[in-house]
Amino acid sequence: MSFLFIAIMIDEFGEGIITPSKSGDSTSALTLMAIAFLPLLLATGANVGGQASALVLRGLTVQSLSHGDMRQVVWKEARVGLLLCATLGSVVFGLTWLFTQWNPTIVFDPMIGLAIAAAVGAHVLTAAMVGALIPLVFSRLGWQPEVFSLPALNCVSDTAGTVIYIIVLFQVGGGAS
């Protein structure tokens, strides 16, 4: 659903973000790359958030974590998220370059590569912190965090990731002004 949503948003509101291609057609490099890398963005965020959530759920189950540890847990996951942000951002930048090498109709634009890498990095950081926070919040509310955490995480993570992606790409492409 998010994949279709971003394609529609870029098509509707992406006027002025057309990047010329080598073949001279009107295909936007930003649009093609945004669509190509959206599944990677969403899957990466879901995996990082799910792992953070699983670690917190384990801590709650064996009672090595309590509600008072919320700040420490979120801070720890923020640090892990920053490391993943830097690592995955670098890998994604390289993948955007490879994408343009395999598709000779697209001119490599480092700003597009950086935008996609930054969006993936920001989403990974957000997903790590949200993944750690959601089970703690559900536990504090007295709900069963092991039942509610993953569905809530997927909804929040996919929505946040898509919004981050659109905002970053529109800022780079000039379509958000």
Model pLDDT for residues 7-30, shown as the tens digit of each residue:
555 555 544 444 444 444 334 666
CA distance 151 to 149: 6
Which pLDDT does position 3 carry in this prediction? 53
Among 64, 168, 175, smallest CA distance to 126 is for 168
Evaluate whether residue 115 is within a structural domain: yes
Residue 5: band (very low, low, confident or very high) from pLDDT cuts 50, 70, 90: low
Residue 3 lies in a domain: no
What is the sign of the dihedral through the CA atoms of 113, 117, 120 and 122?
Answer: negative
Average pLDDT over residues 152-163: 88
Residue 152 lies in a domain: yes
- pLDDT (0 to 100) of residue 11: 53
Q: 159: Cβ–Cβ under 8 A, 6 or more apart, which residues?
A: 2
Indicate whether 34 pLDDT > 80: no
Return the CATH number at 83. Answer: 1.10.357.20
Cα–Cα distance, 84 to 124 (Å, whole number): 7
- Total domains present in the chain: 1
Residue type present at position 127: A
Residue 121 has a pLDDT of 87
Q: Could you give the CA distance from residue 115 to residue 45 in angstroms, rounded to a whole number?
A: 16
| Full-model pTM | 0.74
Could you give the residue ranges of the DSSP H alpha helices within 103-144? 110-141
Domain range enclosing 57: 39-173
Residue 7 maps to a domain: no
